[in-house]
Amino acid sequence: MIPTTDWLLFAGAALVMVLTPGPNMVYLVARTVSQGRGAGMMSLAGVIAGFGFHMLATAFGLTAMLMAVPVAYDAVRLAGAAYLLWLAWQSFSSQGASPFASVSLPPQGRLRLFTAGFLTNLLNPKIAVFYLSIFPLFVSPERGSVLAQCVLLGLTQIAVSFAVNTGIVCAAGEMSRFFRGRPRWMALQRWLTGTVLAALALRMAVDERR
């Protein structure tokens, strides 16, 4: 299976990605600030379900591809490295609005909250591309079942995302007030994120198939 050092590195990459502002974070913060923590947690349940869908789709797809066309590993690896470099550049050059800006959303019932969270994640192409670009860096057919390795990585990413987003939901109001008055903190976060993504891209580009 996956060595502990590689698993910890993947968990770190997952942590960086979940801390990067995107549709999921924006929606969870806005929903929590507008309707309360209970609504935020129900929305988060939908987001996590969306992660599960992306994980299974990537696990089965990557397994089938590597078994049918082993040389495809290099194609996916290089494409993933290019994508991570693009994300790093976006992070360095981003001047977008903070996800903690004040946004008002109309109240919704539990089922609609769950569905909205699920669709927000499901329709976010960055999640699927993240899985496809990162997984090949940590998965090797020589270590056993590719499917099992992908599921382990996916569950790790889901656990990291759940833990961080739960904290964000519980502290959304306080964080919104803090970041609205301190734009330099968001700029620092973007530069740290870009640096980590660029380092991952470099490692992926020079990685040899194991």
* Dihedral of the alpha carbons of 177, 178, 182, 188, in degrees to the nearest 10: -130
Q: What is the pTM of this model?
A: 0.71
Residue 7, exposed/middle/buried by CB under 10 A (0-12, 13-18, 19+)? middle
Distance from C-alpha of 208 to C-alpha of 55, rounded to nearest angstrom: 24
Looking at 34-43, 111-120, 135-144, which range is the least confident one? 135-144
- pLDDT tens for each residue of 81-92: 776 677 677 667
- Within a domain: residue 105? no
**Within-domain flag for 50:** yes
- Cα(76)–Cα(40) distance, integer angstroms: 35
Give the separation between CA 103 and CA 113, rounded to whole angstroms: 16
pLDDT confidence bin for 136, thresholds 50/70/90? confident
Number of separate domains in the chain: 1
Q: Which residue has the tokens 């997984």?
A: 135
> What is the structure's pLDDT at 210?
46
Q: Is residue 123 part of a domain?
A: yes
Q: Is residue 183 part of a domain?
A: yes
pLDDT digits (tens, 9 = 90+) for 21-80: 677 777 888 788 778 888 889 999 999 999 998 888 888 876 666 555 656 666 666 766
Hey, what are 11's tokens? 């968990």
> Would you call 154 exposed, middle or buried from its count of C-beta atoms within 10 A (0-12, 13-18, 19+)?
buried
Residue 99 pLDDT exceeds 60: no
209 is a domain residue: no
Whether the CB-CB separation of 99 and 26 falls below 8 Å is answered with yes
Say if 121 falls within a structural domain: yes
CA distance 53 to 59: 10
Domain that holds residue 15: 4-96+110-204
